[in-house]
Structure 1
């Protein structure tokens, strides 16, 4: 008998001993027990992205010192249990400011904290080994891992005489990985053209029209995209500052390696966001929704929620969010804003500081459960004024739907509204109301909401 079978036999013996007082005992076959105990979850078992919520697993200026990957690794199990299906990491490669950088000034795309350059070996977040352990732990907990891709600009190059500017520029890149070396020919201006869609912060601006740059970013077998997907095991992509290059660039990257993809197209116009998602053939952060929520919750006027948003145009390509590492304009009624995105269409993202530090985690976990178990179908607006907002998710074959009631006034509110259910008892799944009314034959019912709060109603 092998050591493995001995362990299985001991496990079964202990199980039978502890269960001797039970009238009936169900014993699984040894092979099933062996698989359950000894085999970790694999990537085939990942939750489909969009079935839960995304966690932005960082904030600006997270603690330096190389501890962040381990910090996140210790949280992925709890996040998965709460209903998260993917984590979005900050840029993982070595940047100009080394151990102090948040990664948005990339230097060596293949240095994940294993080369001594830019003043440090580790990145701000930790070592390559620690990053790999984090990704493995996330996968073992059924979470996809989304990489933050910064390909508009680079930083940290050496000075060279630039024939296109007739002056010296910091455009000579010889990273220690010896992968994707770059010169003035790979940035703007060059022998192909002077510029593309936009520059950022005065950094060296990559020219994505050059075949050499395309090869190294997504075409070669060891390109950045394929190395991140096949070697580092990333599952998806968040593209930074996509205003700086044409939509086809992100689209070609995604087509080369697959995976969930979302772009940061910072624009509050829903039509513009829809144009970009159509061109890039991927999702975008719903900045139109973000600004409407700012006006509604920070500006104390829920009528703003009637405005145009990407999720109203194409929910399948809208990633909704209340704040992120760059924005934090909604300071009041923030939990109510989360009640909005976690009950409405789109793929909602949570911000690390909101979840871990600033807001009521139990309330957020409750909203995540509501999103994952009740929120489905298209949305019908039932009532909106300055202080009150009521909407109905109409459900689908797998989820029964819900009604969300948001109130930013200082008094209790009650409304008669029409549900999708006749002669059915409903309840508030937030626990903020103890009412359990029965809908009338014509599907109408009265619901309530406390001051400066929200309730979410569905079949009991």
Structure 2
């Protein structure tokens, strides 16, 4: 969700250069069966879906998508094409009715069971559409073999009525009687209450749910009619993106997963890799790799690729790292964004593509090419071969495939470098199509490769 403080903005117009790069040089690549990586995430419980983590996740929204109840249908029209290029899951915005009704992005939740069917908070539909349209979207996604990840906001609520609160001695906005008739709440379900004064943190002054209260646990994940079980078993969601997990202890996510299963990733907004590693261990969920995100910004926008040597969650535990270049909270255009995508789509972790980058801002064919490379060549462990301020070269060692070598060049001219590969006496090629070289590795595995200015190349056996 949007942080209250102003997040850093990295606004440069050089993205126009990236978009303008020629599509014609990108070779039409074959579709390979058996897309294999060294790291996989949980397989969906629903048959016929791609295992989450073998491909690429699509964040299927951005902040302030068009209102008017059209978004679910907009996304439904894209899921088959996304699946065709190698996406394996889509992440949707919070689907339930929130305080701002038809204008809300969902991060101020009021009625978890109103997915666009009750006339409350000023509208029947949510900003994104009706319950029927949401289910149609999920069904279309499943038909396209895509899993669907729900955005879960359980740190706080909004839209409650004022009530006398004997704990605080004042009136608080903590009386929730939603029209769905489910998960009614009072002051005792929020902090402070008779059981628990506080947890990890409040957000924005909203009433802060107390997950130690049995009523809250039962309605959120434990009971047969809980939010978690309703979303999974009735609506059809396959996994969870937990919003603002700094606001409550990691055992909450762990208990949710234990109860209902499904791929899970938390938004722990922190650049400290030790903290991210701690949270994933305690919650037994994945986390967005904010350590990687900040280092990429320093590397590509700060023009120092040596920053890619620094520690990141994917280097600690790739099976729990969800990497990304930007999202609905950051939503920025910055110099080197395509280079950042070349980085996450050739390295370990589960990469995410932002809707506007794919559909509006960047070169879709170049992103499709990188998705293909990720799904077919980017297997095995990673070794960094060379870095300086302008150049970065790393190899993936292969896992039931040959692996690859990625060469990222942030300078203004072509670069060449000798590197040691895993291939002896083997002809290799650049699978981006930017270089027409097809060199043969020496018997000692050494070969010279090149990369174009402000761009990248990806090498593997021909």
Contact 1:157 1:173 in 2 (8 A): yes
Q: Distance in 1 between matches of 2:331 and 2:431?
A: 28
Displacement, 1:44? 0.5
- In the other structure, the counterpart of 1:259 is 262
- In the other structure, the counterpart of 1:233 is 236
Contact 1:86 1:146 in 2 (8 A): yes
Q: CA-to-partner distance for each residue in 1:416-435, whole Å, 9 max, x for gaps? A: 00110100000000000000
- In the other structure, the counterpart of 1:13 is none
- In the other structure, the counterpart of 2:123 is 120
Tell me whether 1:455 sits opposite 2:430 in the alignment. Answer: no
Q: Distance in 2 between matches of 1:193 and 1:346?
A: 37
Aligned counterparts, 1:290-369, within 5 A: 290-329=293-332, 331-369=334-372
Q: Distance in 2 between matches of 1:62 and 1:278?
A: 34
Secondary structure at the aligned position of 2:163 is classed as strand
- In the other structure, the counterpart of 2:132 is 129
- In the other structure, the counterpart of 2:442 is 440
- In the other structure, the counterpart of 1:93 is 96
Displacement, 1:51? 0.7
Secondary structure at the aligned position of 1:153 is classed as coil
- In the other structure, the counterpart of 1:186 is 189
Q: Distance in 2 between matches of 1:315 and 1:233?
A: 28
Aligned counterparts, 1:96-107, within 5 A: 96-107=99-110
- In the other structure, the counterpart of 1:419 is 421
- In the other structure, the counterpart of 2:21 is none
Q: Distance in 1 between matches of 2:262 and 2:384?
A: 33
Contact 1:294 1:329 in 2 (8 A): no
Secondary structure at the aligned position of 2:386 is classed as strand
Q: CA-to-partner distance for each residue in 1:73-93, whole Å, 9 max, x for gaps? A: 000000000100000000000
Which one has a bigger Cα radius of gyration? 1
- In the other structure, the counterpart of 2:282 is 279
Contact 1:95 1:103 in 2 (8 A): yes
Contact 1:286 1:311 in 2 (8 A): yes
Contact 2:62 2:331 in 1 (8 A): no
Contact 2:314 2:349 in 1 (8 A): yes
Q: Provide the aligned length of Structure 1 versus Structure 2.
A: 418
Tell me whether 1:84 sits opposite 2:57 in the alignment. Answer: no
- Choose between structure 1 and 2 for higher RCO, CA contacts under 8 A separated by at least 6 residues: 2
Q: Distance in 1 between matches of 2:437 and 2:118?
A: 61
Secondary structure at the aligned position of 2:291 is classed as helix
- In the other structure, the counterpart of 2:252 is 249
Contact 1:64 1:99 in 2 (8 A): yes
Q: Distance in 2 between matches of 1:330 and 1:252?
A: 37
Q: Distance in 2 between matches of 1:424 and 1:365?
A: 26
Which consecutive residues of structure 1, in runs of 5 or more, have no partner in the other structure? 1-41
Q: CA-to-partner distance for each residue in 1:219-238, whole Å, 9 max, x for gaps? A: 00000001111001100000
Q: CA-to-partner distance for each residue in 1:224-278, whole Å, 9 max, x for gaps? A: 0011110011000000000000000011001110000000000001111000000
Q: Distance in 2 between matches of 1:375 and 1:105?
A: 39
Displacement, 1:330? 5.6
Aligned counterparts, 1:165-244, within 5 A: 165-244=168-247
Q: Distance in 1 between matches of 2:448 and 2:53?
A: 32
Secondary structure at the aligned position of 1:64 is classed as coil
Aligned counterparts, 1:384-423, within 5 A: 384-396=387-399, 398-423=400-425
Q: Distance in 1 between matches of 2:346 and 2:294?
A: 18
Q: CA-to-partner distance for each residue in 1:81-116, whole Å, 9 max, x for gaps? A: 010000000000000000000000000000000000
Q: Distance in 1 between matches of 2:200 and 2:401?
A: 43
Secondary structure at the aligned position of 2:47 is classed as helix
Displacement, 1:43? 3.4
Q: Distance in 2 between matches of 1:231 and 1:391?
A: 45
- In the other structure, the counterpart of 2:51 is 48
Q: Distance in 1 between matches of 2:78 and 2:185?
A: 38
TM (normalized to structure 2)?
0.90
Displacement, 1:305? 0.4
Displacement, 1:193? 1.9
Q: Distance in 2 between matches of 1:405 and 1:262?
A: 30
Displacement, 1:329? 4.8
TM (normalized to structure 1)?
0.90
Q: Distance in 2 between matches of 1:141 and 1:125?
A: 21
Correspondent of 2:157 among 150, 154, 157: 154
Contact 2:305 2:392 in 1 (8 A): yes
Contact 1:294 1:330 in 2 (8 A): no
Contact 1:56 1:349 in 2 (8 A): yes
Q: CA-to-partner distance for each residue in 1:376-399, whole Å, 9 max, x for gaps? A: 100000000000000000001x22
